[in-house]
Amino acid sequence: MSIPFGETGGLVRGCLDLICGRFPLFVFGAPVGDLLPVFHFHDEPREALEPKLRYLADNGYRTVTADAIASFVRGDRALDPRSVALCFDDAWASVWTDAGPLLEAYGLTAIVYAIPGRITEALACRPAGAAGPPTGSPFMTWPELRSLHAAGVIDVQSHTQTHAKIFTAKAVDDFVEPGYDATPRLARPMIESDPLRFVTPEDLGAPLYEQRSRMSDAPRMLHTEEPHDACVRYVAAEGGPAFFQRANWRERLGSIAEGAARGMSPESEDAQVRAIEDELDRSRSELNARLGAATVNHVCLPWGVSGVKTAAALTRLRFATAIANRMAGVHAVRRGDDPHWLKRLPNRYIQRLPGRGRRWWFLAPPAARATVGER
Residue 178, pLDDT > 50, answer: yes
pLDDT digits 0-9 by tens, 183-241: 999 999 999 888 899 999 999 999 999 999 999 999 999 877 788 999 999 999 999 99
| Residue of 55, 1, 79 whose CA lies nearest to 354 | 55
pLDDT at 15 over 90: no
Band of pLDDT at residue 130, cut at 50, 70 and 90? low
Q: Are 235 and 198 in contact, with CB atoms under 8 Å apart?
A: no
Task: State yes or no: pLDDT of 98 exceeds 60.
Answer: yes
- For the cut 80, the answer to whether the pLDDT of residue 28 exceeds it is yes
Say what percent of the chain tops pLDDT 90: 78
Distance CA 74, CA 83 (A): 16
Of residues 192 and 130, which shows the higher confidence score?
192
Strands (E), the chain: 38-41, 62-63, 83-89, 110-114, 154-158, 165-175, 190-193, 196-198, 207-213, 298-300, 321-323, 345-346
CA–CA gap between residue 212 and residue 167 (Å, rounded): 7
State mean pLDDT over 165-177: 94
Other CB atoms within 10 A of residue 374 CB = 14
The dihedral built from the CA positions of residue 349, 351, 355 and 359, taken in this order, carries a sign that is negative
Note the pLDDT of residue 134. 56
Chain centre distance of CA 144: 20
Give the integer Cα–Cα distance in Å for 273 and 133.
39
The span from the CA of 342 to the CA of 333, in Å, is: 6
Q: Strand 190-193 to strand 196-198: parallel, antiparallel, or no bridges (unpaired)?
A: antiparallel
CA gyration radius for the chain? Answer: 22
Q: How many CB atoms lie within 10 A of CB 18?
A: 14
Answer whether 149's CB lies under 8 Å from 125's CB.
no
CA distance 159 to 116: 8
- DSSP string for 83-146: EEEEEEETTBHHIIIIIHHHHHHTT--EEEEE-GGG----SSPPPTT-SSSPPS-SB--HHHHH
- Name the pLDDT band for 297 (thresholds 50, 70, 90): very high
Say if CB 110 and CB 86 are below 8 A apart: yes
Amino acid at 266: P
Which residues contact residue 99 at a Cβ distance below 8 angstroms, ignoring those fewer than 6 apart? 41, 44, 49, 88, 110
pLDDT digits (tens, 9 = 90+) for 327-345: 778 999 999 999 999 999 9
Q: How many whole angstroms separate alpha carbon 364 and alpha carbon 351?
A: 11
What pLDDT is stored for residue 375 in this prediction?
28
Superfamily designation of domain 5-162+294-370 = Glycoside hydrolase/deacetylase (3.20.20.370)
128 band by pLDDT with thresholds 50, 70 and 90:
low
Residue spans of the domains in the chain: they are 5-162+294-370, 167-213+224-263
Cβ atoms of residues 215 and 306 within 8 Å: yes
Distances (CA, A) of 298 to 78, 81, 148, 197, 310: 20, 23, 18, 26, 14
| Nearest by Cα to 129 from 112, 113, 152, 153 | 153
Give the pLDDT score at 363.
59
Cβ(215)–Cβ(313) below 8 Å: no
Please say if the pLDDT value at position 374 is more than 90.
Answer: no
Q: What is the pLDDT of residue 289?
A: 98
